[in-house]
């Protein structure tokens, strides 16, 4: 990524983005106090939100929803419409900002192909579970964040447990589990000094959308074979879930354009499994872990590539190949690779995560300075399961990272760095410890706390099936 490209991002927002975000802020403010007792000001904000969407297909439904909510006769369909409206508004912000980023980077993006709908009816079980989720989400919206207490949080427990047991609803389960944990830790919310209102409204909105009965959301796709060159891995984690999302360039077998893809492996966990121990939960994917730890390319055979650019990982259909330096991949293959389309439901600024290579900068650790243009570095996002530290970032000379956008600001999330420490060139990648910790200091720290996964598995084996 060059200074001029950074400069293009730093000019003011695309037209309409600030206005859209103001409307979202009004919505979020209403949700903080609860749709059950809006008051004049918040009702007006909700009406403005609906009016701004008046010309869209959602217009009539939103107008009715805003009116009914203000009148105190809220039904489920009104809340669904409001969630849809908020998602559409932030979807437009996502499109505008991603478009700006693509232009700055000169990146070509595939267009979205709507998959043919599957005719398979959802099982009754799933239908009932979704209804259970929606009714809890409704109560949450009527009550508002300020009114959330232990009883309301605990009311989600049963639904959540059933949801987690249903593999087809994992996305919703993982999302709700994360939200519930945050609410539980914040109880009683009324006494909190400040609330993460944008975040919680985001999570509520997405949960509402995922809790609607729908066809398969995986986004169709095709079957591909080829060589996957890893750029880096990003770690997603909350108390009870961890996901490793690998970014890479796929060279399709038999030629064709190189594609920018992601592949993800996720596992359920508990909050006391932290740091490098999380890798042990992913031992079912030894080929992927080996490629990450040893910086190797991967040969994949007949694996599904979804329309979203997600390669669905099948460890038994992959072989670790020759050593492949991610920095070389970033220098040579990244610029020409075709970026994937974004599925309609996923369009939210939080999902903007474009891999880039940045080099030739000066840094104090907080920003990368490229010929006078500065890019903020998000050192808060260095996972504890890898070797990257703020110190390494501050000593770095080249960085593979993800460009992200939040609250009107662009940041770079490092995935790997080349640095000079004590006049020696070093390299660190998020996935370096995928097969076990390699840094003596971290090995010691791990030995002090023992093997959390093994202890809990032993306890589970002894106590769960009695």
Site for other proteins in 197-226 (CB under 8 A): 197-199, 202-203, 206, 210, 218
Asked if residue 184 binds other proteins (CB under 8 A), the reply is yes
Q: Which of 50, 141, 241, 337 binds other proteins (CB under 8 A)?
A: 241
Q: Which of 91, 349, 355, 431 binds other proteins (CB under 8 A)?
A: 349
Asked if residue 403 binds other proteins (CB under 8 A), the reply is no
Q: Which of 19, 284, 364, 371 binds other proteins (CB under 8 A)?
A: 284
State the alpha helices, DSSP H only, in 144-169.
Answer: 150-154, 157-164
We find the least distance from the C-beta atom of residue 451 to other proteins, in angstroms, to be 9
Among the candidate windows 105-113, 116-124, 220-228, 450-458, which touches other proteins by CB under 8 A? 450-458
Q: Which residue has the tokens 């084996």?
A: 461
We find the least distance from the C-beta atom of residue 419 to other proteins, in angstroms, to be 17
We find the least distance from the C-beta atom of residue 436 to other proteins, in angstroms, to be 16
Build a one-symbol-per-residue string for 298-337: x at contacts with other proteins by CB under 8 A, - elsewhere. Answer: --------x-x-x-xxx-----------------------
Asked if residue 363 binds other proteins (CB under 8 A), the reply is no
Asked if residue 449 binds other proteins (CB under 8 A), the reply is yes
Would you list the DSSP string of 174-236? Answer: HHHHHHHHHHHHH-SGGG-SS--HHHHHHHHHHHHHHTS--S--S---EEEEEEEEEEEEEEE
Q: Which residue has the tokens 């912000």?
A: 93
Q: Which of 323, 336, 436, 450 binds other proteins (CB under 8 A)?
A: 450
Q: What's the DSSP call for residue 411? A: E
Asked if residue 161 binds other proteins (CB under 8 A), the reply is yes
Asked if residue 155 binds other proteins (CB under 8 A), the reply is no
Build a one-symbol-per-residue string for 120-149: x at contacts with other proteins by CB under 8 A, - elsewhere. Answer: ------------------------------
Question: Binders of other proteins among 263-282, rule CB under 8 A?
Answer: 263-272, 274-275, 277, 281-282
Asked if residue 56 binds other proteins (CB under 8 A), the reply is no
Asked if residue 92 binds other proteins (CB under 8 A), the reply is no
Which of residues 249 and 453 has its CB atom nearest to other proteins in the complex?
453
> In whole angstroms, what is the distance from residue 369 CA to residue 310 CA?
32
State the CB neighbour count (10 A cutoff) for residue 354: 21
User: What long-range pairs does 251-258 form, CB within 8 A, spacing at least 24?
Assistant: 251/226, 251/227, 251/333, 252/224, 252/225, 252/226, 253/224, 253/225, 253/226, 253/227, 257/336, 257/337, 257/338, 258/333, 258/336, 258/337, 258/338
We find the least distance from the C-beta atom of residue 185 to other proteins, in angstroms, to be 5
E strands present in 253-336: 259-268, 296-305, 310-311, 318-323
We find the least distance from the C-beta atom of residue 91 to other proteins, in angstroms, to be 13
Would you list the DSSP string of 421-438? Answer: ETTEEEEEETTTTTTS--
> In whole angstroms, what is the distance from residue 228 CA to residue 172 CA?
29
Among the candidate windows 51-59, 65-73, 81-89, 402-410, which touches other proteins by CB under 8 A? 402-410
We find the least distance from the C-beta atom of residue 440 to other proteins, in angstroms, to be 14
We find the least distance from the C-beta atom of residue 313 to other proteins, in angstroms, to be 4
Size of the site for other proteins (CB under 8 A): 99
Q: Are 252 and 434 in contact (CB under 8 A)?
A: no
Asked if residue 245 binds other proteins (CB under 8 A), the reply is yes
> In whole angstroms, what is the distance from residue 81 CA to residue 50 CA?
10
- Residues 31-49, buried b or exposed e (16+ Cβ, 10 A)? bbbbbeebeeebbebbbeb
* Cα separation values, 189 from 33, 45, 180, 196, Å: 11, 23, 12, 11
Q: Which of 380, 422, 425, 440 binds other proteins (CB under 8 A)?
A: 380
We find the least distance from the C-beta atom of residue 50 to other proteins, in angstroms, to be 21
Q: Which helix (H) or strand (E) holds 170?
A: helix 170-186
């Amino acid at each position: 990524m060059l200074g001029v490209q950074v400069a293009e991002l730093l000019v003011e927002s695309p037209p309409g983005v600030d206005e859209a975000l103001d409307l979202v802020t009004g919505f979020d403010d209403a949700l903080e106090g609860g749709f059950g007792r809006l008051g004049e000001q918040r009702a007006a904000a909700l009406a403005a939100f609906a009016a701004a969407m008046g010309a869209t297909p959602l217009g009539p439904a939103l107008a009715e929803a805003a009116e009914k909510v203000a009148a105190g006769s809220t039904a489920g369909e009104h809340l669904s419409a409001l969630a849809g409206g908020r998602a559409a508004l932030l979807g437009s912000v996502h499109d505008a900002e991603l478009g700006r980023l693509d232009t700055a980077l000169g990146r070509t993006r595939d267009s979205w192909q709507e998959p043919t709908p599957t005719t398979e009816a959802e099982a009754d079980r799933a239908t009932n579970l979704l209804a259970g989720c929606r009714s809890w989400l409704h109560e949450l919206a009527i009550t508002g964040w300020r009114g959330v207490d232990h009883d309301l949080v605990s009311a989600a427990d049963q639904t959540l447990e059933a949801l987690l047991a249903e593999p087809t609803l994992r996305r919703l389960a993982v999302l709700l589990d994360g939200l519930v944990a945050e609410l539980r830790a914040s109880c009683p919310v009324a006494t909190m000094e400040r609330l993460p209102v944008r975040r919680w409204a985001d999570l509520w909105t997405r949960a509402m959308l995922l809790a609607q009965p729908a066809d398969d959301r995986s986004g169709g796709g095709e079957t591909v074979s080829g060589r996957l060159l890893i750029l880096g891995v990003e770690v997603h984690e909350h108390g009870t879930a961890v996901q490793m999302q690998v970014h890479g360039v796929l060279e399709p077998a038999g030629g064709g354009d190189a594609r920018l893809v992601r592949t993800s492996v996720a596992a359920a966990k508990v909050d006391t499994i932290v740091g490098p121990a999380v890798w042990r939960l992913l031992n079912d994917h030894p080929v992927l872990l080996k490629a990450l730890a040893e910086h190797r390319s991967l040969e994949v055979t007949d694996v599904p590539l979804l329309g979203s650019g997600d390669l669905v990982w099948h460890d038994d259909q992959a072989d670790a190949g020759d050593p492949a330096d991610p920095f070389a991949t970033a220098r040579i293959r990244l610029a020409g690779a075709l970026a994937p389309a974004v599925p309609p439901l996923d369009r939210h600024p939080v999902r903007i995560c474009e891999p880039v290579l940045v080099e030739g900068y000066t840094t104090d650790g907080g920003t990368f300075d490229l010929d006078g243009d500065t890019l903020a570095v998000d050192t808060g996002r260095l996972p504890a399961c890898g070797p990257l530290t703020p110190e390494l970032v501050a000593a770095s000379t080249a960085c593979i990272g993800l460009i992200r956008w939040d609250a009107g600001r662009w940041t770079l999330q490092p995935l790997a760095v080349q640095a000079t420490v004590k006049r020696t060139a070093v390299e660190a990648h998020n996935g370096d410890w995928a097969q076990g910790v390699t840094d003596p200091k971290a090995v010691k720290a791990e030995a002090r706390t023992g093997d959390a996964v093994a202890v809990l598995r032993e306890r589970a084996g002894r106590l769960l099936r009695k």
